[in-house]
Amino acid sequence: MNGAHTLLDTLVEAGIEVCFANPGTSEMHLVTAIGKTDAVRPILCLFEGVVTGAADGYARMADNPAITLLHLAPGYANGMANLHNASKAHSAVVNIVGDHAVWHHKYNAPLTSDVPGHVRLQSAWVRTSASAEDLALAGAEAVQAARGGAGHIATLIVPANHAWEPAQKSYDRLAPEGLATVADSAIEAVAAALANGRRTAIVVGGRAMREAPLEMLGRIAAGCNATLLCETFPVRVQRGAGRTPLARIPYFAEQAIEFLKDFEQIILVGAQEPVAFFAYPGVPSLLAPPDCAMMTLAGVHDDIPAALAKLATRVTTAAECPRQPRIVPSLTGTELSPGAIADVISAGLPENAIISDEGITCAQELFLRTEGAPAHDWISVTGGSIGQGLPVSFGASIACPDRKVVAFQADGSAMYTVQSLWSMARERSDVTVVLLNNSSYAILNVELTRLKAGDPNPKTLSMLDLGNPVIDWVSIAQGMQVDACKVETVAEFENAFAKAMQTRGPHLIEVMVVQNLGVPVKR
């Protein structure tokens, strides 16, 4: 037995089932240990941003951490952007980051760098093993830390010699710190507010967006005449026909301010106060009216279902939760506008699908038009760092192999972690990528206008343009052995989407979007 084997045994004991990996030389003993257990499924990814994004998607859908296997500071650095997103999603992730053997650090070899300095930027918990014998305990603690509250990023740094030196002892699972109990005083305050007759919004986030708490929230909101609102970028919301309807706060600050302007109080349940994604000249950063009262029922790491159950005993609740009716859009016209694309997906979505949204300028239409689609889970880019959609949808499909995953994916964002397609092909994941080709960083064209940066000239606009040269997504996908086709009309998309929904395995449908790039019209 060596340190790597005791670590693996401990992780298996703790209930780890999946390892997303992009290993290097310093992780070879860990790779060997994974090879020797049947309990952990290793999933090779060809870039670390795929590894960490997949771990995020897996955690959101499995409610269990995967481990990642990353190669020193540069390997972790390549995974940072999606760990940023995962940290904003409060996803449980256990990163195992290999490092040089302890004595090798002082020689300034090419890969030497400050691994702890890197990992602490996204990780709520960080520990370097002290010895081979300590490695297993450190692993148990990492899983415990990752499972605390709604979930955290825990990173264990493993000097190579700790993996290869002899060690004997593996550890039993350590109980994580559970969800925190909401104080009765907070529940009473919210109960009083819900009875005060003021115009009230309940902004819902985190685990409050699962089906059961949303039903309870729906009964409370209906009973108290409050409006249920969804965070702009929900971690995972269970929605669609038969479920509790809730409106999403718009992305653009001006629209969100307009959207929220009549509310006199806002109650936060697993969500934070609504703020603008970016600052803009002359636009407030806080989106609610200045005199709107803001109060928190429960934070993201609190026991939200318990708090809601208590709250329900203190306020008027409707006997039944309002339920979203099924809406089947009628498909007319040929032009692949964002609305038409959304209608095709809404019409053809199977029951219990997962939609991973990185559709950027096309995403608002899809959210609105899938309100009445068959019940599904919707997962978003939580931290604003693009390149998350493909890996997260891949990870979600690993967590839920029996569910269809639809990756609603903007072209510019897809390019960041395009290597995801290879892992999808390798694992035969049931992901259908709806690749929205508008040959542009379209959102930046919009932002340029909103930022009042002055009239853009062709040189400025060229820096936001993906059309020179045109990217052939079918060719790229096929290069990674993902079944792919391109569609240019609604009928073509309808056929391709239906076929993808009927066929297991990864598909990419390149949709040639026809899009008005003005500031999106508010609906």
265-269 and 353-358 as β-strands: parallel, antiparallel, unpaired?
A: unpaired
Nearer to a copy of itself, 110 or 332 (CB): 110
**What kind and span of H or E run contains 102?**
none
Taking CB under 8 A as the criterion, the residue among 223, 277, 305, 368 binding a copy of itself is: 277
Report the nearest approach of a copy of itself to the CB of residue 330 (Å): 35
- Give the per-residue contact string, 312-351, with a copy of itself (x = CB under 8 A; - = no): ----------------------------------------
Instruction: Map the footprint of a copy of itself across residues 428-457, applying CB under 8 A.
Output: 443-444, 447-448, 451-454, 456-457
Burial class, 96, CB count within 10 angstroms (exposed 0-12 / middle 13-18 / buried 19+): buried
Decide if residue 117 touches a copy of itself (CB under 8 A). yes
Taking CB under 8 A as the criterion, the residue among 62, 111, 293, 306 binding a copy of itself is: 111
Taking CB under 8 A as the criterion, the residue among 419, 420, 429, 437 binding a copy of itself is: 419
| Residue of 26, 44, 148, 161 whose CA lies nearest to 94 | 148
Applying CB under 8 A, what is the total number of residues that bind a copy of itself?
99
Instruction: Map the footprint of a copy of itself across residues 151-180, applying CB under 8 A.
Output: 160-161, 164
Decide if residue 24 touches a copy of itself (CB under 8 A). yes
Decide if residue 384 touches a copy of itself (CB under 8 A). yes
The Cβ of residue 46 has, within 10 Å, a number of other Cβ atoms equal to 16
Taking CB under 8 A as the criterion, the residue among 233, 259, 394, 493 binding a copy of itself is: 233
| Residue of 501, 385, 523, 377 whose CA lies nearest to 434 | 501
Decide if residue 62 touches a copy of itself (CB under 8 A). no
| Residue of 180, 236, 175 whose CA lies nearest to 207 | 236
Quickly tell me which residue has 């256990």 as its tokens: 94
Decide if residue 107 touches a copy of itself (CB under 8 A). yes
Report the nearest approach of a copy of itself to the CB of residue 325 (Å): 32
- Lookup: tokens for 257: 């301010």
The Cβ of residue 293 has, within 10 Å, a number of other Cβ atoms equal to 15
Report the nearest approach of a copy of itself to the CB of residue 335 (Å): 25
Quickly tell me which residue has 């020179």 as its tokens: 468
Decide if residue 248 touches a copy of itself (CB under 8 A). no
Instruction: Map the footprint of a copy of itself across residues 476-505, applying CB under 8 A.
Output: 476-481
Q: Where are the alpha helices (DSSP H) in 19-131?
A: 28-35, 48-62, 72-88, 115-119
- Give the per-residue contact string, 27-56, with a copy of itself (x = CB under 8 A; - = no): -xx-xx-xxx-----x-x-xx-x-------
Q: Residue 404 and residue 413: Cα distance in Å, rounded? A: 21
Taking CB under 8 A as the criterion, the residue among 297, 362, 471, 485 binding a copy of itself is: 471
Nearer to a copy of itself, 396 or 424 (CB): 424
Decide if residue 415 touches a copy of itself (CB under 8 A). yes
Q: Residue 98 and residue 75: Cα distance in Å, rounded? A: 9
Taking CB under 8 A as the criterion, the residue among 39, 109, 130, 195 binding a copy of itself is: 109
Decide if residue 425 touches a copy of itself (CB under 8 A). yes
Taking CB under 8 A as the criterion, the residue among 383, 389, 391, 520 binding a copy of itself is: 383
Please measure the distance between the N-terminal and C-terminal CA atoms of the chain and give it in whole angstroms: 62
Q: Residue 359 and residue 251: Cα distance in Å, rounded? A: 13
Decide if residue 236 touches a copy of itself (CB under 8 A). no
Q: Residue 373 and residue 350: Cα distance in Å, rounded? A: 9
Nearer to a copy of itself, 120 or 199 (CB): 120
Decide if residue 74 touches a copy of itself (CB under 8 A). yes
Q: How far is CA 366 from CA 235, 359, 471, in A?
A: 16, 8, 23
Max distance between CA atoms of the chain, in angstroms, equals 69
